[in-house]
Amino acid sequence: MSFGQGGPQWGPGGTGGLGGGPGGGPTPDWAALAEASEARARRRKWLMIGGGALATVAVATAVALTVVSANSDDASASNKPASELPATADIPGASDDPGPTFKPTTPPPPPDPKDFISSAKKDKAPLTPEGLFPGKTFTSGENVYKKGATDSTKQCASVTQPALGAILTKNGCTRLIRASYVKGSLAVTIGVAVFDTSAEAAKVKEQVDKGLVNALPGKGVPGFCRTGVCRGTYNAYGRYAYFTTTGYPSGKNVTTSDRKAYAVGDTMARFAFQRINQRGQAQASAAAAGPE
**CA distance linking residue 248 with residue 186, whole number of Å:** 5
- Look at residue 122 in the predicted model and tell me its pLDDT: 95
- Look at residue 289 in the predicted model and tell me its pLDDT: 85
Helix (H, G, I), strand (E, B) or coil at 93: coil
- Look at residue 63 in the predicted model and tell me its pLDDT: 45
- pTM value is 0.64
- At residue 223's C-alpha, the angle toward residues 226 and 165, to 5°, is 50
- Look at residue 111 in the predicted model and tell me its pLDDT: 85
- Look at residue 31 in the predicted model and tell me its pLDDT: 55
**CA distance linking residue 279 with residue 207, whole number of Å:** 26
Mean pLDDT of 135-162: 97
Burial annotation 13-39 (CB, 10 A radius, 16+ → b, else e): eeeeeeeeeeebbbeeeeeeeeeeeee
State phi, psi for 53 to the nearest 5 degrees: -65, -45
The mean pLDDT value of the chain amounts to: 79
How many C-beta atoms surround the C-beta of residue 135 within 10 A?
8
Going by the DSSP 8-state scheme, the letter that residue 79 receives in this structure is T
| pLDDT exceeds 80 at position 19 | no
Longest dimension (CA), the chain: 195
Q: How many helices (H) and strands (E) does the chain have?
A: 7, 6
In this structure, of 91-95, 273-277, 288-292, the range with the lowest mean pLDDT score is 91-95
| pLDDT exceeds 50 at position 280 | yes
- Look at residue 110 in the predicted model and tell me its pLDDT: 77
- Look at residue 226 in the predicted model and tell me its pLDDT: 92
DSSP of 205-248: HHH--S--BPP--BTTB---SSSS--EEEEEEETTEEEEEEEE-
Looking at the DSSP bridge assignments, the partners of residue 191 are 178, 243
In this structure, of 64-73, 86-95, 160-169, 281-290, the range with the lowest mean pLDDT score is 64-73
DSSP of 133-182: S-SSEEEETTEEEEEEEEEEES-GGGGB-HHHHHHHHHTT--EEEEEEEE
Q: Which residue has the higher pLDDT, 26 or 212?
A: 212
Q: Which residue has the higher pLDDT, 138 or 98?
A: 138
Burial annotation 271-288 (CB, 10 A radius, 16+ → b, else e): bbbebbbebbeebbeeee
**Quick one: which of 171, 186, 203 has its CA closest to 244?**
186
pLDDT, tens digit (0-9, with 9 covering 90-100), for 40-97: 766 665 555 555 554 454 444 444 444 444 444 544 444 545 445 455 445 454 455 5
In the chain, what percentage of residues exceed pLDDT 90? 59
